[in-house]
Structure 1
Amino acid sequence: MTTPPRLIPLLEQFDFARERLSGRLAGPVMDSGNGTDVAVGPMTDEEHLWEPVPGCWSVRRRADGPGPRATLLTGAGEWGRDHAPFPHPEPPPFTTIAWRLSHLSEVLTLRADHTAGTHTLTRDDYVSHGDAAGAIAAFEAGADAWRAALLAADDAALDTRGHSTYPHGSDPEDPFIDVVWWVNQELLHHGAEIALLRDLYRARNA
């Protein structure tokens, strides 16, 4: 199927942001933004779970229970992500790389399912990972699934409200092209946050 012309720049933006974050997480090089390769080491498990300030929200073993000001650990499996239902804590807790990467991967995975999949997955089904390799693999799988959902959208789908039935946002009321834009900004801003946390981790003992 031919990609709708107005989807092409959003798809290119997604691909560029995804490639930069993938390189930033796993190395051995990342794109500096101007096409220059910069050496970067792979993220370690310790860095993935690093809590730079007291009271962080993170991904935790379910047996250990939720962290400060969280009331539950979302998802399925051995690990879960700190969460609290609305109204959320104020000020918002600072979140680790593990939390941010789990959230981003969940957004990609669930929106892909609610666009071109079973339309059934919820946060309770998503599996978070306590190890860096597992978290990176989950991000790549979610990004692949979301990209496939984009490529399956024709021009009419871009204007269809509820083409994505993702239950944790306004997707059922929004034209799909607005959802595509929203997912891109999620990738861009969480990718930038994760990159900064990697820089802070590297410089923590300087």
Structure 2
Amino acid sequence: MTLPARLVPLLDTFDFGRKRLADRLAGPVVDSGNGTDVPVGPLTDEEYLWEPVPDCWSVRRHADGPGERATRLDGSGPWGRDAAPHPHPVPPPFTTLAWRLTHLTELLALRADHTTGTRTLTREDFPVPGDATTALKAFDAAADAWRATLLTADDAVLDTVGHSAYPYGGDAEERFVDVVWWVNQELLHHGAEIALLRDLHLHHHRARPA
């Protein structure tokens, strides 16, 4: 199928943001933005779960219960992600790299399912990774699923309100093209947050005395 012309730049943006984030997390290098390769080590478990300030929201073992100001842990398996019902705490808790990456992965996986899949998956069904290696594989699989969903869209689909039935956003009231745009901005802004957390972790540990 020939992609609709207006989907092409959105797909290109998704591919760019995905590769940039994947490279930033796994290395061995990431493009600095001017074509220069900057060495990047692979994400470690310690970094994945690092809490740079007190009372972060993160991913935790269900057996340990939710963190400060969270009321539940979303996700299946041994691990879950800190959460609370609306209205969320004010100011919002600072979230770890693990929280942000699993949030983004869940968003991609569930939106793919609620667009071209079973339309049944919930946050309680989503397995939350407790380690960096599993988290990177889960992100890659979720990004593949969302990209495959985009490749099924023609112009009629892009204009269809409620084509995505994702239950944790406004998708039921939005044209699919607007949902695609929204997912891109989620990828880009969470990717930037994750990159900054990697920088903070690196320099924080360099600054600590031996």
TM-score normalised by L of structure 1: 0.99
- Counterpart for residue 127 of structure 2: 127
Aligned-pair CA distance for 1:189: 0.3
Report the counterpart of residue 151 of structure 2 in structure 1: 151
Whole-Å separation in 2 of the counterparts to 1:144 and 1:98 = 20
Percent identity (aligned) = 72
- 2:12 alignment partner AA: E
C-alpha displacement at 1:87, in angstroms? Answer: 1.1
Which runs of structure 2 are paired with 1:164-183 in the superposition (5 Å)?
A: 164-183=164-183
Aligned mates of 2:75, 2:129 — CA distance in 1 = 10
Matched ranges for 1:81-92 at <5 A = 81-92=81-92
TM-score normalised by structure 2 residue count: 0.97
1:40 matched residue in structure 2: 40
Q: How does 1:66-81 map to 2 (within 5 A)?
A: 66-81=66-81
Structure 2 unaligned segments of length 5 or more: list them: none
Query: Shift of residue 85 of structure 1?
Result: 0.5
1:33, distance to aligned residue in structure 2 (A): 2.1
Aligned equivalents of 1:36, 1:137: Cα separation in 2: 26
- 1:169 deviates by 0.4
Alignment pair present for 1:187 and 2:155: no
For residue 30 of structure 1, report the CA deviation from its aligned partner. 1.0
CA deviation after TM superposition for structure 1 residue 37, in Å = 1.8
Runs of 4+ in 1 over 3 A off after TM superposition: none
SS at match of 2:204: coil
Give the CA deviation at 1:92. 0.2
In 2, the alpha carbon distance for the partners of 1:33 and 1:187 equals: 17
CA shift digits 1:51-94 (9 cap, x unpaired): 00001000001100000000000011000000000111110000
What 5-or-longer segments of structure 1 have no aligned partner? none
The one-letter amino acid paired with 2:13 is Q
